[in-house]
Amino acid sequence: MDFDPIPFHLSSALANWGKLAGILLAIGVLLGLVGAFAGNGNGASGFINGFVSYFRELLTISPRRVLALAGLTWKECIRRKALLVFVVFAVLLMFGGWFLTNSNSREDLQVSVHITFMLTTISWLILPVAMFLSCWGLPEDIRIRSIHTVVTKPARRAEIVIGRMLGFSSMIIAILLLMGFVGYVWIERQVPAELKGAVQGEDGAESVNLLACRVPQYGFMYFLDRDGLPKTTGINVGDPWLYRSFVEGNSRARAVWLFPNVEPERLNGALRIESRFEAFRTIKGTEASIREGVEAQYTLVNDPREDAFSSFGIGASFREIAEALRAGNFRNAATLMTAAAERMAASPSDFPPVDLQNVSVACARQTVAELSAIDGLGDVAKAFDAVGQAAGKVSDPGDTAGYQAVSEACASLGKVLEDHSDDLMELMPRLEVPLDPFHVTEYHEGADTHTYERTLRYAGSYEAVARFLAKTISKLNDEGKLVEGDALSSSLVDDLEQSAGIAAINAELVERVLKEELDAGKLTAADGKLAVADGSRWLPYFDQLVRAERLISQDAEGWMLEADLFDDLAPRGLLRVEVSCLDDQMYLGMARPDMFIRLKDNSFWVGYSKALLNIGLMLALVVVLGVTASCVVKGPVSLVFTLSVFLVGQFFHDFMQRILGGAEKGAGLVESAVLIFQHRNPNAGVDTSESGRQVMQAVDTGFFGVLRLANNIIPDFSTFSEAAAYIENGFDVPWASSVLPSIATFVGFLIPCIMIGTACLKFRELEAK
C-alpha cells in the first residue's frame, strides 16, 4: 500500500474556489450581456430584467416544490426500470466467487480482494445508471413536451434543476445504501471467523481482526545517516519504486518519527505502535535470520538538546559547536564558542555569510524557542537570540562591523554557556529508552504491532545512570539517610534497594564507591549531609564517575531504570521514535505512513460506511454534472460530456496535476510533437533556432493555460475512490484527508452547477429541435 494521507486544507481550498467561482460568474455575466444585446434587442433592460429574475429565482426556492419535483423524478426512475440494476448486482454476487475464490489461497490476502470487489462492483454498477438517468431526464421531458406540464405550474427553473438533482441523487443513494448493506453482509460472510478476531488461539490470545478499521496517528519523519546526521531520505537500494527509503543495519543510521499529541487520554494509557517495514538483504544471513526475518528496534527518545540545537550546525563553521551542544558537552561548547568569537574577529572570511544566515534562522526558529520554554535557561536563550539577531544582519563578506557585532555576541554567548553549563546539563537531559527488538514481518498488515505500557524499564546509558544516581543520592541526602556522623549510613544499601529499586549487588557497588571517594577526600560528610568536596553538583560528579567506568553494573541485566512514557518521554506531547536495523549488511525500508501510533480501532462498518459515503458523493456529483449538461444539450451529447468529464477526472486528473506541477517529464504539446517528429528526446531538446523554440513555447503556454483551466474545472474523481483504498487495507477512512475533501469537492461543484443549470434552463427555449 502506498498512500500517504495528507490533511486537506479547507481554508486554502475555499479561497481557490472563491477565485474560480468569481471568474465563472464574471464569464456568465459577460455571456448574458452579449446575449441580451445580440439577441432580441432588449439590450440593457433585458439584461437587468433577466439578471434580477434569475437571482430572485435562486433566492426564492421553495423546498416543498423541490421535494415534489424530486418525487416526480423518483417515479420516472422507477418507470424507466432503473432498479433492474439490482438484478445485475445479484448475478455478480452469485458468481463473483468464481473470480475470487482460490485466487489467493491465503485468507489474509483474500480480505482486501473481497472488499475491493464489493466496492468496485457497487460503484461501477450504479455509475452508468446515474449517468443515463441524469443525462436523459430533462432532454426527454423536453422532447415529449411533458416539461410543459411542469413549467406551466408555479415551479421555478431553479427548482426544476434542484429537484432533478435531488431526485436522481436520492434514488442513486437509496440504491447505494441497499447494495452497500447487502455488500456488507456478503463481506462479513466471506471472511472467516479467525480473521475477524473472533477465534481464540491455543494461547488464549485473540486472532488478528483483519476486518477492523485501524485508526492511525501518523507523525513527521526524517532520517539519520550512518554518521547520525539528519537527512530527508535514507539509502536507495535500487528498488524502482522510490516510495520507501532505507536505513543501513548495524550502524548509526535511523529513521526518526515525531508524533504530536501523545497524551495518556488519547492513547488509553499505553503506546501501540504498528509498522510495516520492508527488508533488503545484501547477504543471505544466518539461519535464524532467514527463518525469522530481519531484526529492528524502536528507541523512544526525549532529547531537548536535539530539539534545540539540531539545526544550529547547518553551516559548516558552526558544526563543531553544534555537535558539542547536542552531545551535552556544554563546557566544550562554551570554549569552542569563545574561540569562534575570537577567530571571527581576527579572520571573518572563515565564517561565510551563508553560515551566519543559517545560524540566524536556527536561532529564530528553533534554539531560542526551545530554550525559552525551559525554566531557568532564559539567559541562555537571550544570548542565543543576540547571536541570531547579529548574525542575521550579515549578508556581505566585507561587513566588518556586522562581523564584529556577531563576534561580540558569540563571546558573550560563550561566557553564558560557561556560566550555565551545569544548569544546561541538568535541565536538558537526553533520555533514550531502547525497546525490545523484533523481527520484521513483511507485507502482513497489522502483524508488526507492539504495545508498550506507560512505565518502561530499560537498560540505562551512561548519562541516564549518572542522572538516576545523582537524583537518588540527592534525595537520600535531603532525607538525611546518607550519612551517620562522618561516615556513610550503615543502612545505605537497604535504602538504595528500597527507595530507588536498585539491585542489591549494585547498591553495594554504589556504597563501596562512595566510601572510597569519602576516604579519598573527594566527598565530605558534615552535619549529617554528604557533599562533593570541590562544591560541584551531584550530576557532574556522578557523570564523571560513570564515565570513568567505576559504576559499571554488577548485575548482568545492567542498570535497569524506569521511565514514564508520557511524563519523561513525551512531556510536551511530542514523542520521538527512532527505528534502527540491527542486522549487519541488511537494510530496512520505510516511508512516512509505514509507522504510526495505532489508536483505538473502529469497527469495520464505520470505515465501510465512510467509503460508501464517498461513493455516494461521487455518484451524486455525476448526477449533478449530468443534469447540468442536460439543461443545455440533448441526452447523447450530455452523456458523452458527463462520461468524458468523469473519465478525465477519475483517471487523468493526477496526470494533469503532475504536468502542471512539473513532476512529469517532457515538454509542451507542440514541442513534444516536434520532438517526436525529430526522433529526439526531451533532454536533447528540439533541433531548431532560438526564435523557433520561443514560438513553440509561447504556443505551448497557451495549451498549458487550457490544461490549467481543465484541471480547475474538472472535478478530481479519484478523491472519492481513494477512500476505498483505506478500508481495503484495513484502515478507517480518515476525516481530514478523505471524507472532508470529498464533501468539499461535491459542494464546490454543486453550487456552480445549480447556477449554470438554472441559467441554461431559464434562457433556453423548451422545445426539442
Partner 1 sequence: MNKLTSRQRKLLYAGGILLLLIPIVWLGAPTAEDVVPGTQQTVSGGKLAQMRVAYDLGESKLGAIDPSSSAMNLVLLGLRGPAASVLHLKALDYQEKKDWAKLKTTVDGIIRLQPHYTEIWKFQGWNLAFNVSREWDRVDDRFYWVKEGIKFLQLGTSRNQTATALFHNVGDFTGRKFGNSDEKKFFRDFFISDPDPKFSGTADPQINPQGKDNYLVAYDWFKITNEKDRAYRIKGMTHVFARQGPSRALYDFARARQSEGVFGDENRIAWENAYNEWTDVYGNDVFLGLDDIRYKLNCSEEELASMATENQVTLDVQRRIWEQNVKMVNYRFWQNLANCERSPTTVDAHKKIYDGKVAYSRAETADGLDDQGQTKPSKSEQLLFEGMQLMEKMCFGADPEFPEVADHDSYIEEALLAVYYWKKVHQLNLRQPPEDYPLKALEQKEAGRQFDIEMEFQREHRRGFESP
- Residue 726 CB, shortest distance to partner 1, in Å, is 14
Binding site for partner 1 (CB under 8 A): 1-2, 95, 98-100, 103-106, 109-110, 112-113, 116, 240-241, 243, 278-279, 281, 284, 287, 290-294, 439-443
112 versus 489: smaller Cβ distance to partner 1: 112
Q: List % helix, strand, coil for the chain (3-state, nearest 5).
A: 60, 15, 30
98 versus 677: smaller Cβ distance to partner 1: 98
- Residue 278 CB, shortest distance to partner 1, in Å, is 7
- Residue 756 CB, shortest distance to partner 1, in Å, is 35
1 versus 744: smaller Cβ distance to partner 1: 1
Paired strand residues for 235:
246
113 versus 606: smaller Cβ distance to partner 1: 113
411 versus 440: smaller Cβ distance to partner 1: 440
Classify residue 249 as exposed, middle or buried by CB count within 10 Å of its CB (0-12, 13-18, 19+): buried
1 versus 667: smaller Cβ distance to partner 1: 1
Amino acid at residue number 399: D
User: How far apart, in whole angstroms, are the C-alpha atoms of residue 491 and residue 484?
Assistant: 10
Provide CB contacts within 8 A for 570, sequence distance 6+: 259, 262, 302
User: How far apart, in whole angstroms, are the C-alpha atoms of residue 746 and residue 638?
Assistant: 19
117 versus 298: smaller Cβ distance to partner 1: 117
| Secondary structure string (H, E, C) spanning 312-367 | CCCCHHHHHHHHHHHHCCHHHHHHHHHHHHHHHHHCHHHCCHHHHHHHHHHHHHHH
- Residue 112 CB, shortest distance to partner 1, in Å, is 5
User: How far apart, in whole angstroms, are the C-alpha atoms of residue 318 and residue 510?
Assistant: 40
219 versus 730: smaller Cβ distance to partner 1: 730
210 versus 753: smaller Cβ distance to partner 1: 210
The residue among 747, 674, 767 whose CA lies nearest residue 21 is 747
Grid look-up 550519612 returns 483
- Residue 704 CB, shortest distance to partner 1, in Å, is 28
- Residue 589 CB, shortest distance to partner 1, in Å, is 10
User: How far apart, in whole angstroms, are the C-alpha atoms of residue 767 and residue 512?
Assistant: 105
CB 723 within 8 A of CB 731: no
- Residue 281 CB, shortest distance to partner 1, in Å, is 7
Rounded to 5°, the CA angle 359-361-363 comes to 65
CB 232 within 8 A of CB 222: yes
Grid look-up 557523570 returns 543
- Residue 97 CB, shortest distance to partner 1, in Å, is 9
User: How far apart, in whole angstroms, are the C-alpha atoms of residue 294 and residue 279?
Assistant: 7
99 versus 220: smaller Cβ distance to partner 1: 99
Sign of the torsion formed by the C-alpha atoms of 432, 438, 440 and 446: negative
Query: Residue 216 has which C-alpha cell?
Result: 492511525
- Residue 279 CB, shortest distance to partner 1, in Å, is 4
CB 348 within 8 A of CB 397: yes
278 versus 432: smaller Cβ distance to partner 1: 278
- Residue 133 CB, shortest distance to partner 1, in Å, is 23
203-207 LR contacts (CB < 8 Å, sep 24+):
none
How far is residue 632 from each of residues 27, 98, 188, 753, measured CA to CA in Å? 17, 44, 45, 12
User: How far apart, in whole angstroms, are the C-alpha atoms of residue 741 and residue 723?
Assistant: 11
Phi, psi of 570 (to 5 degrees): -135, 60
User: How far apart, in whole angstroms, are the C-alpha atoms of residue 67 and residue 309?
Assistant: 64
Paired strand residues for 221:
257
For the chain, the C-alpha Rg in angstroms (whole number) is 35
The residue among 385, 381, 365, 364 whose CA lies nearest residue 373 is 381
280 versus 596: smaller Cβ distance to partner 1: 280
Q: Report how far Cα 466 is from the mean position of its chain's Cα atoms.
A: 38
CB 600 within 8 A of CB 268: yes
The residue among 309, 329, 547 whose CA lies nearest residue 425 is 329
- Residue 608 CB, shortest distance to partner 1, in Å, is 18
- Residue 725 CB, shortest distance to partner 1, in Å, is 10
385 versus 594: smaller Cβ distance to partner 1: 594
The residue among 421, 513, 430 whose CA lies nearest residue 469 is 513
Q: Enumerate helices (H) and strands (E) in the chain, giving the number of each.
A: 28, 20
CB 260 within 8 A of CB 573: yes
- Residue 730 CB, shortest distance to partner 1, in Å, is 12
- Residue 652 CB, shortest distance to partner 1, in Å, is 15
322 versus 440: smaller Cβ distance to partner 1: 440
Amino acid at residue number 613: L
440 versus 750: smaller Cβ distance to partner 1: 440
575 versus 591: smaller Cβ distance to partner 1: 591
User: How far apart, in whole angstroms, are the C-alpha atoms of residue 117 and residue 120?
Assistant: 5
- Residue 120 CB, shortest distance to partner 1, in Å, is 11
- Residue 109 CB, shortest distance to partner 1, in Å, is 4
